[in-house]
Amino acid sequence: MLMGSLFFHTGLAIKVFDGLDAIFGRLPGRLCYLTVAGGSIFSTLTGSSMANTAMLGSLMVPEMKRRGYSSQMSMGPILGTGGLAMIIPPSALGVLLAAIAEIDVGRLLVAGFLPGFVLAALYAGMITLQLMRYPGSAPAYDVEPMSWGTRITLVVTNILPMGLVVFMVVGFIVLGWATPTEAAACGVLGVFILAIAFRALTFSSVSTSLEGTVRVGAMVFLIIMNSTVFSQMLSFSGASKGLIEWVTSYELHRYMILFLMFCVLILLGMFMDATSMMLITVPIFFPLAAALEFDLIWYGLFVLITIEMAGTTPPFGLLLYVMLGVAPKGVTLFQVAKAAFPFLVCDAILILILCAAPGLALWLPSLM
């Protein structure tokens, strides 16, 4: 949380966009692809889907509107990519989910790395399909000519240094050099070093970041404490065992039960926030998933993807309202939800891919 907050408040996020902008040049729909690429990088540095969506919306929507992009083409990629922070490490919700479910935090975080970038590729493919069908939704425009030397310089100075932070978090966990907690501390150190190198570190940015981290951290500890009590109540009362026996007595195929759990999570997401959903469902669903012989790391990733989808589902998906808050005046919730729908299809495709090829999620954790 502190790493992501520092990344935003020191202005390092803007530098990433400057570097990516040099790569895409005059590509049609370049701002949409820029959103996906930038959001994917931000996801590895922030861990917060709401912060990711808010920042991408604040940076990209005004520019897209100025360039004549349709509201659907401007909001859709932001809503999809903003939610990537739930999957790509270091996911704050992934850490919380692992704590509630009592599974390995590091393996769950690493499991989301490859599927997260596959999802980003699916988003880019969806943007291409939309541009082919509605070419006027993202008008082409001239950009300032830039030599290859200048482009390479911007990439080297603005993007590659961010790879240091990504390696200090994800790389240290995969290589076994640090626990998830230690890797998170290394990530914060990496952001501090970059902020100092770019002369972007100020007392105001540090104090604001620390204040936000303490506030959110206290909330997370309360959630974990209450979820532990709830889980123990279910366990000692025999409710979890009774539910498992009741569900398995119907002899349904395990993927049918998985689909029913998916529907429950989506339904709850229409009316609840992600943490409340996990507090209620994780103590019940994870023992059931174990009884059905699903790998719990794989199942944890499945839950995170489903929660991401639920966050962009009306009427009360929180990411929809975050997007609505930064959208141009006159945009309705229905328009925001409509823009999100094609990217929900991409999420569903990823779930099907993971069901068919679970190794996509489990290969990196198996190396740990």
Look up the domain containing 313 and give its range: 2-366
Asked if residues 116 and 88 have their Cβ atoms less than 8 Å apart, the reply is yes
Residue whose token pair is 């940076």: 59
- The per-residue pLDDT for 35 is 83
Residue 60 near residue 74, CB atoms below 8 Å: yes
For range 127-136, the mean pLDDT = 86
Residue 132, burial from CB neighbour count under 10 angstroms (0-12, 13-18, 19+): exposed
> pLDDT-based confidence at 297, cuts 50/70/90?
very high
The CA radius of gyration of the chain, in Å to the nearest whole number, is 21
Cis peptide before 180 (omega within 30 of 0): no
Give the mean model confidence (pLDDT) for residues 263-283. Answer: 80
Give the model confidence (pLDDT) of 247-262 as tens digits: 666 777 888 889 988 9
Distance separating alpha carbons of residues 186 and 189, to the nearest angstrom: 5
DSSP class of residue 272? S
Question: Is 153 exposed, middle or buried, given 0-12, 13-18 or 19+ CB atoms closer than 10 A?
Answer: middle
Least confident window among 5-9, 148-152, 216-220, 324-328: 216-220
Q: What is the pLDDT of residues 74-98, one digit of tens each?
A: 888 888 887 787 888 777 788 888 8
- Give pTM, 2 decimals: 0.80
Residue 179 structure tokens: 């626990």
**pLDDT tier at 264, thresholds 50, 70, 90:** confident
Please count the other Cβ atoms lying within 10 Å of the Cβ belonging to residue 78: 33
Q: Tell me which of 194 and 17 has the higher pLDDT.
A: 194
Per DSSP, which regions of 210-368 are E strands? none
**Does the pLDDT value for residue 58 go beyond 90?**
no
> What mean pLDDT is predicted for residues 320-326?
79
- Written as one string, the DSSP assignment of 196-223 is HHTT---HHHHHHHHHHHHHHHHHHHHH
Q: What is the mean pLDDT of residues 29-38?
A: 81
Total of domains in the chain: 1
Select the more confidently predicted residue: 308 or 139: 308
Range with the poorest average pLDDT among 80-89, 101-110, 223-232: 223-232
Tell me the pLDDT of the chain averaged across its residues. 79
Q: Is the pLDDT of residue 246 over 70?
A: no
Query: What percentage of the chain exceeds 70 in pLDDT?
Result: 80
Instruction: Give, for 251, the enclosing helix (H) or strand (E).
Output: none
Return d(Cα 173, Cα 171) in angstroms, integer.
Answer: 5
Predicted confidence at residue 242, as pLDDT, reads 64
Q: Say which residues have a Cβ less than 8 Å from residue 64's Cβ, sequence separation at least 6.
A: 31, 73, 74
Q: pLDDT value at position 357? A: 93
Proportion of the chain above pLDDT 90, given as a percent: 12
Is a pLDDT exceeding 70 seen at residue 243?
Answer: no
With a cut of 90, say whether residue 27 has pLDDT above it: no
pLDDT at residue 16 above 80?
no
User: Could you read off the pLDDT of 110-121 as tens digits, one per residue?
Assistant: 898 899 889 999
**CA 78/CA 50 separation, integer angstroms:** 11
